[in-house]
Amino acid sequence: MKYSDDRKGIYRKFILKDNRIIGAILLEAFQDVGIVLNLIIRRVDISHRKDELANNHFSWGKVIHDMA
């Protein structure tokens, strides 16, 4: 899954395995680093949100809410 915005210089790529993020490349998306690292470490299942990862308006809040 990847998202890029050339105009803003933003690039996000997520490597998934078994509906979990196992790696990521985040350029100019530094605000996402802590959340993504937490999801990787906790091995959170994102199956119901994974199709949204490539969306410009993706909200990490929804993923965090799903974890509760």
Domain boundaries, the chain: 2-67
pLDDT digits (tens, 9 = 90+) for 18-51: 999 999 998 987 888 888 999 999 999 988 888 8
- The reported pTM is 0.79
> Chain-wide mean pLDDT for the chain?
86
Our measurement of the distance from residue 65's CA atom to the centroid of its chain's CA atoms, rounded to an integer in Å, reads 14
Residue 67 has pLDDT above 80, yes or no: no
In angstroms, rounded to a whole number, what is the distance separating the alpha carbons of residues 19 and 67?
14
Measured at the CA of 2, the angle between CA 48 and CA 7, to 5 degrees, comes to: 130
